[in-house]
């Protein structure tokens, strides 16, 4: 069992989207495969920032899905153990630093162990 820190570099939240997800029900969040970075198991929040916020406000655990398809843009860097390159690429033009958003405990091996 691994303690996984879900990280994001997206800081912007649209309140109307969060409120809509709360009223209509939340769907899942989508994560990169877990990887070890600086001694910590992490996964990148690829999609579902507003869903995660809606879940936090309702004090419910979001359904999460690990995306391990190497055809998804940039993930080939993770599978090649190019973690720093991936984090730089995934961040793109965003000025926000990577920050922890959520914690998971999962029985899934990091791809670079």
Contact 10, 112 (CB under 8 A): no
Does the pLDDT at position 16 exceed 80?
A: yes
Domain membership of residue 113 (yes or no) is: no
Q: Kind and range of the H or E element at 25?
A: none
Within-domain flag for 112: no
**Range of 85's domain?**
2-106
Give the Cα-Cα-Cα angle 63, 33, 16 (nearest 5 degrees). 45
Domain count, the chain: 1
φ, ψ of residue 74 in degrees (nearest 5) = 85, -25
DSSP state, residue 107:
S
Cα–Cα dist 14/55, whole Å: 15
d(CA 28, CA 58): 14
> Could you tell me which residues are beta bridge partners of residue 30?
47, 65
Mean pLDDT of 24-37: 91
Q: What is the DSSP letter of 36?
A: E
Residue 31 belongs to some domain of the structure? yes
pLDDT digits (tens, 9 = 90+) for 52-78: 999 999 999 999 999 977 667 788 888
Question: Is position 98 within any domain?
Answer: yes
| Mean pLDDT across 3-7 | 97
**Domain harbouring 23, CATH code:** 3.90.1530
Among 6-20, 40-54, 69-83, the range scoring the smallest mean pLDDT is 69-83
């Amino acid at each position: 069992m691994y303690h996984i820190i879900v990280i994001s570099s997206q800081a912007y939240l649209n309140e109307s989207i969060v409120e809509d997800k709360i009223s209509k029900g939340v769907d899942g969040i989508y994560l990169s495969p877990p990887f070890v970075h600086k001694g910590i198991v992490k996964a990148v929040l690829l999609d579902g920032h507003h869903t995660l916020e809606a879940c936090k406000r309702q004090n419910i655990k979001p359904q999460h899905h690990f995306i391990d398809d190497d055809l998804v843009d940039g993930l080939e860097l993770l599978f090649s153990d190019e973690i720093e390159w991936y984090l730089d690429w995934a961040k793109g033009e965003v000025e926000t630093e990577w920050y922890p958003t959520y914690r998971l405990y999962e029985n899934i091996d990091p791809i670079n162990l």
